[in-house]
C-alpha cells in the first residue's frame, strides 16, 4: 500500500504543476498533428475517477477477485492519471505450462492529451508502470516474486452518457524495460517484452 499511497501523493503534486504550466504545454500540443478543434470550454479543470473492467473480468475467469481504479486530474486538454490494478492471469495465457497462478499488482502514472475540450472524445497518452508479480512453479510448488518496469502508450475515446458520467473504450501497448525472470530447474518464465491491451473503462468526473 505504500507504493499506491505514494503514487496518489505524486498526482496531487503534479496537478499543481500541470495547472501552472498548462498554457505552455497547450501551445506545443496544438502545433502537432493532434490539433485541437474550436469547441467551447465548459469544463476547464476537473478531478475524475474510473474503473477498468478488464482486470476483474480476467480474474473472474480464474475464480479470483480483481480490481482496477484510477484517479485523475484534468486541466483544459490535459490529464494526469494514477492507476492501480490487481489481477490474476489465466494459466492458458501464460505461455509456459510449468508455471501457474500469475498474480500482478500494477501501478502507473500516465499523461494524456485530448483532441477536444471538456475531457471527451479522442485522447493520446504515455507513461510508466510498475508490475509487482507473484508466480507459482508446478515443479517445486513454490511461489516466486519478480517486478517489471514498463513504459506504455495508448489511446482511447470518452463517450459522455449522462452529464459527466462516461464510458471509455481504450487500447495500449506496453514495453517491458527489464529482463527479470524466474528460473526453476531447466525451465524459466519471463514476461513478454511487448504486450497489447484492449478494454473498457467506466468513469465520472466533477
The number of C-alpha atoms within 13 Å of 23 and in the hemisphere containing its C-beta is 1
- Cα–Cα distance between 166 and 183 in angstroms, integer? 44
Any domain includes 2: no
The boundaries of the domain holding residue 59 are 43-205
Q: In the numeric block, which cell numbers belong to residue 28?
A: 506545443
For residue 134, what is the domain's CATH number? 2.40.160.20
Residue 124: predicted pLDDT: 98
- % pLDDT > 90, the chain: 76
Per-residue pLDDT for 16 more than 50?
no
Any domain includes 32: no
Give the pLDDT confidence of 86-136 residue by residue, as tens digits: 999 999 998 899 999 999 999 999 999 999 999 999 999 999 999 999 999
Number of independent structural domains in the chain:
1
Give the predicted TM-score (pTM) of the model.
0.80
Residue 3 CB-density burial (10 A; 0-12 exposed, 13-18 middle, 19+ buried): exposed
Any domain includes 87: yes
Any domain includes 51: yes
Any domain includes 16: no
Residue 40: predicted pLDDT: 79
Any domain includes 123: yes
Higher confidence at residue 10 or residue 75? 75
Any domain includes 8: no
Per-residue pLDDT for 37 more than 70?
no
Per-residue pLDDT for 149 more than 80?
yes
Closest-CA residue to 59 (of 93, 100, 92, 87): 87
The band of 31, judged by pLDDT with boundaries at 50, 70 and 90, is very low
Higher confidence at residue 56 or residue 26? 56
Helix, strand, coil share of the chain (percent; to 5): 20, 55, 25
What does each C-alpha distance from 17 to 12, 22, 42, 44, 194 come to in angstroms? Answer: 9, 8, 22, 15, 32
Give the pLDDT confidence of 153-192 residue by residue, as tens digits: 999 999 999 999 999 999 999 999 999 999 998 899 999 9
Q: In the numeric block, which cell numbers belong to residue 42?
A: 465548459
Residue 6: predicted pLDDT: 52
- Cα–Cα distance between 5 and 8 in angstroms, integer? 5
The band of 146, judged by pLDDT with boundaries at 50, 70 and 90, is very high
71 - beta bridge partners?
A: 49, 82
Any domain includes 188: yes
Amino acid at each position: 500500500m505504500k507504493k499506491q499511497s505514494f503514487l496518489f501523493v505524486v498526482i496531487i503534486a503534479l496537478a499543481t504543476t500541470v495547472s501552472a504550466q498548462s498554457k505552455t504545454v497547450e501551445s506545443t500540443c496544438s502545433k502537432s498533428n493532434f490539433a485541437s478543434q474550436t469547441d467551447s470550454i465548459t469544463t476547464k479543470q476537473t478531478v475524475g475517477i474510473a474503473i477498468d473492467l478488464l482486470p476483474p473480468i480476467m480474474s473472474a475467469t480464474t475464480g479470483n477477485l480483481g480490481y482496477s481504479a484510477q484517479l485523475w486530474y484534468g486541466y483544459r486538454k490535459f490529464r494526469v492519471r494514477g492507476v492501480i490494478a490487481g489481477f490474476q492471469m489465466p494459466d492458458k495465457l501464460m505461455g509456459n505450462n510449468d508455471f501457474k497462478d500469475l498474480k500482478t499488482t500494477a501501478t502507473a502514472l500516465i499523461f494524456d492529451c485530448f483532441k477536444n475540450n471538456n475531457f471527451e472524445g479522442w485522447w493520446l497518452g504515455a507513461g510508466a508502470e510498475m508490475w509487482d508479480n507473484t508466480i507459482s512453479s508446478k515443479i517445486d510448488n513454490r511461489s516466486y516474486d519478480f517486478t517489471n518496469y514498463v513504459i506504455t502508450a495508448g489511446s482511447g475515446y470518452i463517450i459522455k452518457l449522462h452529464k459527466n458520467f462516461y464510458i471509455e473504450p481504450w487500447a495500449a501497448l506496453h514495453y517491458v524495460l527489464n529482463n527479470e525472470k524466474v528460473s526453476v530447474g531447466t525451465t524459466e518464465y519471463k514476461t513478454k517484452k511487448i504486450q497489447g491491451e484492449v478494454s473498457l473503462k467506466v468513469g465520472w468526473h466533477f
